[in-house]
Structure 1
Amino acid sequence: MLAPEVPMSHSVAGEPSSAGRRAAPLTTAVYSAAEWELLTALPGRVVVAAASPGPGRPRSGVAAGLAGLDAVAAGRAFDSDLVRAVVAAIYARHDGAADPVEHRTDVVDLLATCRAATRVLRRRADPADSAAYRQWVQSAAARVCGVAAGPRGLPPAPADRRFLDRLGGALDLC
């Protein structure tokens, strides 16, 4: 005869059961849904804008786009709860629905969105998390522009440098 099942408060590995875990990390609890959407959509928008052609900026190609995706994914290893939570949220999106905001590449709109994200971070985030997030977003764009420049060691094109400078200003990194 089999023994009756007894509910366990801990998993076999000794970790708390999922019933006792928060649905969202504590990091995300301080943001409204709109603020969280802003913070999770911005890295993708920045990568798309950095890889898109513009005045004096030729089309970057697949390698540059992949470098941007790699830079976003690298946020999983950041020493910032906020950056890791944003990356987790980006990868958790699996509904397949296209987000029209992510496909806009208008630089003026993107810079305004960066300034809005910076204001949200200034109000809500730990200063170290805020700095890490803003630097991470900037580094994703820099990777895209660096790959677009060609072989390692070449500086980004002047138009890419202007884009990165404007982005850094909007993220309050200058």
Structure 2
Amino acid sequence: MLAPEVLMSHSLAGEPPSAGRRAAPLTTAVYSAAEWDLLTTLPGRVLVATASPGPGRPARGVSAGLAGLDAVAAGRASDSDLVRAVVAAIYARHDGSTTPTGGLADLVDLLAACRAAVRLLRRRADPADAAAYRQWVESVAVRVCGAGGGVPASPADQRILDRLGAALGLR
């Protein structure tokens, strides 16, 4: 059974419905609650980890967080049914759950979660949806680090982006 937030329409998520697009792909039925939670919390965890200060990385300002949120929201326009369903679930979530606060241990856990998501997507998702999801999650980190706007990332940020890209199977 799909979670109620997965069944949410685009119009309820603040996006006008698009002709020919389903609010939630039928393929989301193959994910357990724990698997769906992994897929829907990963973008937020990436945003927090890349926005958090660390060795050689200063604290980010509000604009970096907003850039990350914008990258998450950009998934609403994705060609991927999976990415759109994940974004709808993120926006529908009102369960009071919190996101990790960052730090080295959290980065290690985040990279492990990325690898787990890649394994899950290889087993259960359409290859195009899996690729779109992995690239979308990486785009959140790129936007937070400022590397998406023609500004090169700092060496410390680039190391995190490289590690994240490898964990997502993109490098």
CA deviation map 1:14-69 (0-9, x unaligned): xxxxxxxx996413101111000000000000000010001111111100000000
Note the alpha carbon deviations across 1:88-140, whole angstroms, 9 max, x for none.
00001123x133xx224211110000000100001000000000000000001
- Matched residue, 2:161: 164
Rg larger in 1 or in 2? 1
What code does the residue aligned with 1:130 have? A
Is residue 2:62 matched to residue 1:62?
A: yes
Alignment of 1:12-91 (within 5 A): 25-91=25-91
Runs of 4+ residues over 3 Å off in structure 1: 22-25
* 1:137 pairs with 2:137: yes
After the TM superposition, which residues 88-107 of structure 1 pair with which residues of structure 2 at under 5 Å, given as runs? Answer: 88-95=88-95, 97-99=96-98, 102-105=99-102, 106-107=106-107
**TM-score, structure 2 normalization:** 0.81
Distance 1:122 1:155, change over 3 A: same
1:128 corresponds to: 128
Provide the aligned length of Structure 1 versus Structure 2: 147
Distance 2:101 2:144 in 1: 17
Amino acid at match of 1:120: L
Root mean square deviation of aligned Cα: 1.9
Deviates more, 1:82-91 or 1:104-113: 104-113
Q: Post-superposition shift, 1:173?
A: 0.2
Conserved in 1, the CA contact under 8 Å of 2:51 and 2:145? yes
Q: Give the Cα–Cα distance (whole angstroms) in 2 for the partners of residues 135 and 53 of structure 1.
A: 23
User: Which amino acid is 2:145 matched to?
Assistant: C
Q: Is the 8 A contact 2:53 2:59 kept in 1?
A: yes
Which residue pairs with 1:115 in the alignment? 115
- Over the matched positions of the two proteins, sequence identity in percent amounts to 77
Which residue is equivalent to 1:3?
A: none
- TM-score if structure 1 supplies the norm length? 0.80
